[in-house]
Amino acid sequence: MAKSLFIKTYGCQMNVYDSNRMTDILAPLGYEASSTPDGADMVILNTCHIREKAAEKVFSELGRLRALKQAKQQVGESMILAVAGCVAQAEGEEITRRAPYVDMVFGPQAYHRLPEMVARASRQAGAVLDTDFPVESKFDHMPDSATVENSTAFLTIQEGCDKFCTFCVVPYTRGAEFSRPVADVLDEARRLRDAGAREITLLGQNVNAYHGTTGNGTERGLGSLIREVAQIEGIDRIRYTTSYPAEVDDELIEAHRDVPELMPFLHLPVQSGSDRVLSAMNRRHNAGQYRDLVERLRAARPDIGLSSDFIVGFPGERESDFEETMDLIRDVGFLQAFSFKYSPRPGTPAAGMPNQVDENVKSRRLASLQALLIEQQTKFNAGCVGRSMPVLLEKFGRHEGQLVGRSPYMQAVHVQAPAHMLGDIEVLHMDSAGENSLAATLVNAAGIASKDVSADAHSARKMAQTV
């Protein structure tokens, strides 16, 4: 009989990818994905440790799940409760201490051992703790199946980070940089295509640090890998995330110039516009270098749109530093961005720095920074009205006859369109815009041929320049 599996995913897209892989790995053991923890035979929290709030949520969720587990036990059934991901990696022992009813705790490098852990957990009551960084890669042990949702899929090509930004836990929770061999990546991309993916997002904590080996022992960077993925028939859109500015090389910039499948949208975290703060963060770029990089990307791909990450209230950040960040945002112009108050993470250098910024100051800075970013985002969306863009129709909308898709710039686009267009890339005319989405109508009733998705590049270019 099928057992039900509920996975709750927190945090980044790497975790979304890992959750999909866990679903794949557990399928042969008879686990079927469920959309609710109620009555589930196994619940996995795939956690995020990046900010304090993210880690706290896990403990409150565990409290709720404990009740569900007890309810099952009362009727003579059982529930395996597991904590995976970066909180498990960083606070494994804390979890088994504070929540002894948790059966399994394992870090991001241990997923391939899941079947073995499940077997052990069902046999014995004692919690299984697996948070070692194994030398061999977890990818060597993953099954071949592929999870594709809404014609889009994630593909992890790189893991870990050696950059040690002074605020960040990732180098500690995810370990050193590791790139998957080129052939493995291409095989997985083909499988995803066969499973229905038209858009693939290449993932890595530091995706442009990618240097995968080829059969003849040479290494390939991300730019070259993107060209190869673009060759795969049926893959019409490529994205990648997250990039580290100092590692954007000419080859990658040239891929933006030459590869039409590579979407003109790039998430390029800058964190701050102040050189003092950037240096204290141990970022390997200053504000001037970031601006230059944006210039070079725009020269290669004039319609490219940018997104970023910002941290306000890093230790020692003065009002003048914050104003430099605001200036950088005004100068560069972002289509969207993620912004956070600095959150001290135990064990990271910045947590012990003097001059921690007052919470109220952080809140005020975050509010003005977000207001500026939302203003830019709203203006960009408004600038799209009246233009046409190719949109990948990903899913049904909330209203009858409505489909929802993504523009090249990741904007959500709503359109009245026949159901058979699901999974197609259609050129849509943008009729109206809000802060977070656009409403559009079909331009031509027939589906456009695949690979012809850069139609109307001219208007897209103009739009990117309206910011």
Q: Which residues bind ligand SAH (CB under 6 A)?
A: 12, 14, 50-51, 167-168, 170, 205-206, 242, 269, 271, 309, 311, 340, 342-343, 345
Q: Which does 224 bind (CB under 5 to 8 A by kind): ligand SAH, ligand F3S, none?
A: none
Binding-site partner at residue 376 among ligand F3S, ligand SAH, none, CB < 5 to 8 Å by type: none
Using CB under 6 A as the criterion, what x/- string covers residues 242-281 for binding ligand F3S? --x-------------------------------------
Using rule CB under 6 A, residue 170 touches ligand F3S: yes
Q: Tokens at residue 253, please?
A: 């910039």
Shortest distance in whole angstroms from residue 244 CB to ligand F3S: 5
Residue range at the interface with ligand F3S (CB under 6 A); choices 14-22, 163-171, 386-394, 445-453? 163-171
Size of the chain, expressed as the number of residues it contains:
467
Q: Binder to ligand F3S among 164, 187, 346, 367 (CB under 6 A)?
A: 164
Rounded distance between C-alpha atoms, residue 341 and residue 53, angstroms: 11
As measured in angstroms, the least distance from the Cβ of 360 to ligand F3S is: 25
Given ligand SAH, ligand F3S, none, residue 12, with its beta carbon under 5 to 8 Å by kind, binds ligand SAH
- Which residues 219-248 are close enough to bind ligand F3S by CB under 6 A? 244
What, of ligand F3S, ligand SAH, none, does residue 164 touch, CB below 5 to 8 Å by kind?
ligand F3S
Query: Which of 163, 220, 387, 406: binder of ligand F3S (CB under 6 A)?
Result: 163
Which of ligand F3S, ligand SAH, none sits in contact with 163, Cβ below 5 to 8 A by type?
ligand F3S
Q: How far is CA 99 from the centre of its chain?
A: 29
Task: Count Cβ atoms below 10 Å from residue 157 Cβ, excluding itself.
Answer: 25
Interacting partner of 156 out of ligand SAH, ligand F3S, none (Cβ under 5 to 8 A depending on kind): none
Give me the least distance between CB of 340 and ligand F3S, in Å please. Answer: 11
Residue closer to ligand SAH, measured from CB, 51 or 193: 51
Q: Using the minimum distance from each CB to ligand F3S, give the nearer residue, 313 or 390.
A: 313
Q: How far is the CB of 38 from ligand SAH (least distance, A)?
A: 32
* CA separation for the pair 217, 44 (Å, rounded): 38
Taking the complex as a whole, the smallest distance from the CB of residue 369 to ligand SAH amounts, in Å, to 12
Rounded to a whole number of angstroms, the minimum distance from the CB of residue 308 to ligand SAH is 8
Report the partner that residue 171 touches, choosing among ligand SAH, ligand F3S, none (CB closer than 5 to 8 A by kind): ligand F3S
Q: Provide Rg for the chain, Cα atoms.
A: 23
User: Which lies closer to ligand SAH via its Cβ, residue 201 or residue 343?
Assistant: 343
The full 3-state SS of the chain, as one line of letters, equals: CCEEEEEEECCCHHHHHHHHHHHHHHHHHCEEECCCCCCCCEEEEEECCCCHHHHHHHHHHHHHHHHHHHHHHHCCCCCEEEEEHHHHHHHHHHHHHHCCCCCEEECCCCHHHHHHHHHHHHHCCCCEEECCCCCCCHHHHCCCCCCCECCEEEEECEECCCCCCCCCCHHHHCCCCEECCHHHHHHHHHHHHHCCCCEEEEECCCHHHCCEECCCCCEECHHHHHHHHHHCCCCCEEEEECCCHHHCCHHHHHHHHHCCCECCEEECCCECCCHHHHHHCCCCCCHHHHHHHHHHHHHHCCCCEEEEEEEECCCCCCHHHHHHHHHHHHHHCCCEEEEEECCCCCCCHHHHCCCCCCHHHHHHHHHHHHHHHHHHHHHHHHHHCCCEEEEEEEEECCCCCEEEEECCCCCEEEEECCHHHCCCEEEEEEEEECCCEEEEEECCCCCCCCCCCCCCHHHHHHHHCCC
Q: Which does 51 bind (CB under 5 to 8 A by kind): ligand SAH, ligand F3S, none?
A: ligand SAH
Kindly identify the residues of this chain, within the stretch 176-215, that bind ligand F3S according to CB under 6 A.
205-206
Q: Which one of 127, 165, 229, 270 is in contact with ligand F3S (CB under 6 A)?
A: 165
* Distance, CA of 422 to CA of 171 (rounded, Å): 39
- Give the angle 269-271-276 at the CA atoms, nearest 5°: 135
- Asked if 339 is part of the footprint of ligand F3S (rule: CB under 6 A), the reply reads no
* From candidates 171, 273, 305, 423, binder to ligand F3S by CB under 6 A: 171
Q: Which residues pair with 306 in a beta bridge?
A: 266
Which part of the chain contacts ligand F3S (CB under 6 A), choosing from 115-123, 160-168, 325-333, 388-396? 160-168
Asked if residue 168 binds ligand F3S (CB under 6 A), the reply is yes
CB 41 within 8 A of CB 4: yes
CA atoms in the 13 A half-sphere facing the CB of 400:
0
Residue 50 contacts which entry, ligand SAH, ligand F3S, none (Cβ below 5-8 A, type-dependent)? ligand SAH
Beta carbons within 10 angstroms of residue 88's beta carbon: 30
Window of 157-165, 179-187, 289-297, 380-388 that interacts with ligand F3S by CB under 6 A: 157-165
What is the closest distance, in whole angstroms, from the C-beta atom of residue 203 to ligand F3S in the complex?
12
Q: Using CB distances below 5 to 8 A depending on partner kind, what does residue 311 bind out of ligand SAH, ligand F3S, none?
A: ligand SAH
Binding site for ligand F3S (CB under 6 A): 161, 163-165, 168, 170-171, 205-206, 244
